[in-house]
């Protein structure tokens, strides 16, 4: 069996983030999308008391600032910390205390520090209840691509591949479209995969989708304020179902 050669040069933007032929993207008017903080606030609504949660790099790290009052959640970082607190104020920054994305953080009361090998044993052993990750693409089947774009410098794949394989529930938070209105919620991922059929919920700045394991497809359950189901369809390549009742995202 012969294998096709792998190119290390970056494909065109339209290949990475395909456009749709149904509605020219240039004809679509701007929508009132959620801000990064609003996305993080919505993702925080998925947390449950007593959960151990891993937050990915980017928007997911902001979730630490929006844990519901009175809820006891333990945030874990791959570099060896269980018990991440909110981001520090300028006067409280400790340069030696960072998360896996090299951002300065705080540690809550009762936090523990350990080696990265112990950290990944927690992840691979199924001891993490949920991870909240960013993504460059999510497919209709629940695949995720979030670790590299061919031809661009990559710091490393991090722990995402272990997380999507070992964590009980995977929530993805991302902008609905790429620059130029390219598609990120797609029929099939065109970027190198992080994991297959592993995403349980997709939260974008336009809508919320929950994966239905019985139907093996995503179901649209919420839309951002001022956004309609048709607005979401026009900006999505992936096929999805629509819930009987579609709520407005409360942020």
Residues labelled catalytic: 78
The 3-class SS string of the chain reads CCCCCCCCCCCCHHHHCCCCCCCCHHHCCCCCCCCHHHHHHHHHCCCCCCCEEEECCCHHHHHHHHCCCCCCCEEEECCCEEEECCCCCHHHCCCCCECCCCCECCEEEEEEECCHHHHHHHHHCCCCCEEEECCCEEECCCCEECCCCCCCCCCCCCCHHHHHHHCCEEEEEECCECHHHCECEECCCCCCCCECCCCCEEEECCEEEEEECCCCEEEEEEECCCCCHHHHHHCCCCCCEEEEEEEECCC
Q: Which residue has the tokens 């139907």?
A: 215
CA dist 38 and 34 (Å) reads: 6
CB 9 within 8 A of CB 151: yes
How many residues in total does the chain contain? Answer: 251
6, 13, 140 from 190: Cα distances, Å: 13, 11, 12
């Amino acid at each position: 069996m012969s294998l096709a050669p792998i190119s290390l040069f970056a494909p065109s933007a339209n290949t990475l983030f395909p456009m749709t032929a149904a509605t020219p993207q240039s004809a679509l008017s701007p929508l009132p999308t959620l801000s990064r903080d609003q996305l993080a606030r919505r993702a925080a609504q998925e947390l449950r008391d007593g959960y151990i949660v891993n937050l990915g790099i980017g928007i997911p790290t902001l979730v630490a600032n929006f844990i519901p009052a009175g809820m006891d959640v333990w945030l874990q970082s791959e570099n060896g910390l269980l018990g991440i607190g909110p981001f520090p104020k300028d006067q409280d920054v400790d340069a030696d205390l960072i998360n896996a994305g090299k951002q300065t953080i705080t540690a809550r009361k009762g936090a523990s520090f350990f080696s990265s090998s112990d950290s990944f044993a927690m992840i691979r052993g199924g001891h993490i209840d949920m991870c909240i990750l960013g993504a460059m693409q999510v497919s209709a089947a629940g695949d995720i691509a979030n670790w590299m774009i061919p031809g661009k410098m990559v710091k490393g794949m991090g722990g995402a591949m272990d997380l999507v394989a070992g964590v009980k529930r995977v929530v993805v938070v991302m902008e609905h479209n790429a620059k130029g209105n390219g598609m990120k919620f797609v029929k099939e991922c065109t970027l190198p995969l992080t994991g297959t059929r592993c995403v349980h919920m997709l939260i974008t700045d336009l809508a919320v989708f929950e994966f239905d394991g019985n139907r093996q497809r995503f179901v649209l359950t919420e839309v951002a304020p001022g956004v309609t189901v048709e607005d979401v369809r026009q900006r999505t390549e992936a096929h999805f179902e629509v819930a009987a009742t579609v709520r407005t995202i409360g942020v």
